Amino acid sequence: MRMITTEKINETIYNALDEINQLLPGEKKIQKTEGEILYGSGSRLDSLGMVNLIVAVEQRIQDELGQSIDLTDEKALSQKNSPFLTVKTLSDYIASLLNN
Amino acid sequence: MKDKKVILITGTSKGIGKYLAEYYCSKGHTVTGCSRKESEIKNENYSHFSLDVTDEEKVKELFLHIRKNQPGLDVLINNAGIASMNHVMLTPLETVKKILGTNFTGTFLFCREAAKLMRKNNSGRIINFSSVASDLAVEGEAIYASSKSAVVTFTKVLSKELSSMGITVNSIGITPVNTDLIKNVPAGKIDNLLEMLTIKRLAELEDISNVTDFLIREESRFITGQNINLGGV
Ligand SMILES: NC(=O)c1ccc[n+]([C@@H]2O[C@H](COP(=O)([O-])OP(=O)(O)OC[C@H]3O[C@@H](n4cnc5c(N)ncnc54)[C@H](OP(=O)(O)O)[C@@H]3O)[C@@H](O)[C@H]2O)c1
C-alpha cells in the first residue's frame, strides 16, 4: 500500500483544527504548527475541546485519506508518552497507525 | 431542528422498533433502522441495515453511511433489546453476557457514534429505552432489570457530557406492551407487574410514541438526563 506522507497527515490535522478553531474565541485558537501543544499544561484546549479534536481528526482521516483508525484504543491510552501531546506527536502516531 | 428529521432507530424488525420506524416514516422523516434480521418495512423514507448492535465494525459502517448520505443525524432511538426471565441461581453466564451486550453495550456503541455525528450540528436527541422492571425490582428479572438500570445511569452521565453540544439524552421506562418480548412470560407474571403500576394496564404503542414525540420536539431542548416511566411508577 502507498505510504501516506507526513505532509498529508499534517494537512488533515490542520483541517480538523480549522473546524475546532471555529468554536474557539481568538486568544484560544490553536496554531497550525507542528510544535503546537495540544494536551496537558500549555495546551489551549479544554478537555471537551480535546475530545472534539480527536473525533474531528478521526472523521477527516476517514473522509480525506479513506482509512478508518481508532485514535483512542487501549494502545494509545497506555503509552508512556501521550500521542496527543503536540501536533507532531499526533501526526507521528497517526502515521504509525496508517503505515503499519 | 428541522421539520423533516433524520432518525436512527435500533431493533426495527418487529415490536416497538418496527412501529416507531413506520410511524416516523409516515410523518415524512428519513428513518434508518437496524436489526439482525431483515426488515419488512417498505417505505421510500426507510433504509435498513442488518447487523447486531454489539458488532462495532458494522455499527461504524452504518454511521459512516449516514455521515456520507445524510445532512446529519437528528434523533437516535436505542430500542433494540432482549429479555430473559429466570431465578438468579438458574441463570447461565452466557445469558447475562447476551443481555448486557445487547441492552447496555449496544446502547453505548450507538450513543457514542451518534454523538460524534450530532456534535457537528450542535443539536441532537438521544432516547434510550429502559424498563419499569428496574424501579420495581421485579423478581425473576434480575439481569434484565440491571441491564436497564445501567442504561438509566449511562443516560444521566452522558446527558452531562453532551449538554454543551446541544444534545439531550433521556430514557423511557417502558411498561409491559404486547410484543414478542413478553410472549413467553406467563400471563400471571404480567398481571402481577401491572398490579404494581399506578395505571394498571398494558401500554399501547401510541403511549410510547407520545413520549418519543415529546422528547424530539424542539421545545423539549431543556429536558435532559431524565428517565420517564410510563404507567406511573
Ligand atoms: N415489550 C415489553 O413489554 C417491554 C417492556 C419494557 C421495555 N421494553 C423494551 O423495549 C424495547 C423493544 O422491545 P420489544 O418489545 O419491541 O421487543 P421485540 O418485539 O422482541 O423486538 C426487539 C427488536 O430488537 C432487535 N434486536 C434484538 N437484539 C438485537 C441485536 N443484538 N442486534 C440488533 N437488533 C436486535 C430485534 O430484531 P432481531 O431479532 O432481528 O435482531 C427486534 O427488532 C427493548 O429495549 C425492551 O427492553 C419492552
Which residue has the least CA distance to atom 47 on ligand 1?
Answer: B81
Nearest CA in chain B to A58: B116
Domain-by-domain residue ranges, chain B? 6-173+204-225
Backbone φ/ψ region at B9: left (φ over 0), alpha (ψ -120 to 50), beta: beta
- Cβ B119–A52 below 8 Å, yes or no? yes
What percent of chain B has pLDDT above 90? 96
Q: How confident is the model at residue A2 (pLDDT cuts 50, 70, 90)?
A: low
Sequence-distant (6+) residues with CB within 8 A of A24 are A30, A44, A49
Task: Supply the pTM of this predicted model.
Answer: 0.95
Q: Report d(CA A24, CA A28) in Å as an integer.
A: 6
Are the beta carbons of B64 and A62 separated by less than 8 Å?
A: yes
Question: What kind of architecture, by CATH, is found in domain B6-173+204-225?
Answer: 3-Layer(aba) Sandwich (3.40)
Check pLDDT > 90 for residue A52: yes
Measured CA to CA, the distance from residue B36 to residue A96 in angstroms comes to 35
Those residues with Cβ within 8 angstroms of residue A25's Cβ, 6 or more apart along the chain or in another chain: none
Q: What's the gap in Å between B66 CA and the centre of ligand 1? A: 22
Closest C-alpha to B10, from B110, B106, B83, B78: B78
Question: Which among B60, B119, B164 has CB closest to A55?
Answer: B119
Tell which residue, B6, B11, B18, has the closest CA to residue B50: B11
Put the strands of the sheet holding B46-50 in their side by side order: B46-50, B30-35, B6-10, B75-78, B124-131, B167-174, B227-229
Give which of A5, A13, A3 is closest to A89, Cα–Cα. A13
- Burial bucket for residue B31 (CB in 10 Å: 0-12, 13-18, 19+): buried
Residue A20 has pLDDT above 70, yes or no: yes
Quick one: cell of B113? 457514534
Residue B185's nearest CA partner among B128, B138, B135, B232 is: B138
With a Cβ cut-off of 6 Å, ligand 1 is lined by: B 11-17, 35-37, 52-54, 79-83, 102, 129, 131, 174, 176-177, 179-182
Domains in chain A: ranges and CATH: 6-20+34-99 (1.10.1200)
Spatial separation of the C-alpha atoms in residues B37 and B182, rounded to whole Å: 19
Q: A62 and B116 in contact by Cβ < 8 A?
A: no
Cα B8 to ligand 1 centre (Å) = 15
What is the predicted pLDDT for the residue at A80? 77
Q: Ligand 1 pocket test: which of B35, B85, B98 has the largest number of ligand atoms within 8 Å of its C-beta?
A: B35
Burial class (CB in 10 A: 0-12, 13-18, 19+), A42: exposed
Does residue A72 register a pLDDT over 90? Answer: no
- With beta carbons under 8 A apart, name residues in chain A contacting B119: 52, 55
List chain B residues with CB under 8 Å of A68.
Answer: 60, 64
Q: What is the mean pLDDT of residues B197-206?
A: 98
Q: What is the pLDDT of residues B155-198, one digit of tens each?
A: 999 999 999 999 999 999 999 999 999 998 888 999 999 999 99
Give the pLDDT confidence of B97-135 residue by residue, as tens digits: 999 999 999 999 999 999 999 998 999 999 999 999 999
Which residues share a beta bridge with B75? B7, B125
In this predicted structure, what is the pLDDT of residue B2? 72
- How far does B116 lie from chain A, in Å, by closest CA? 7
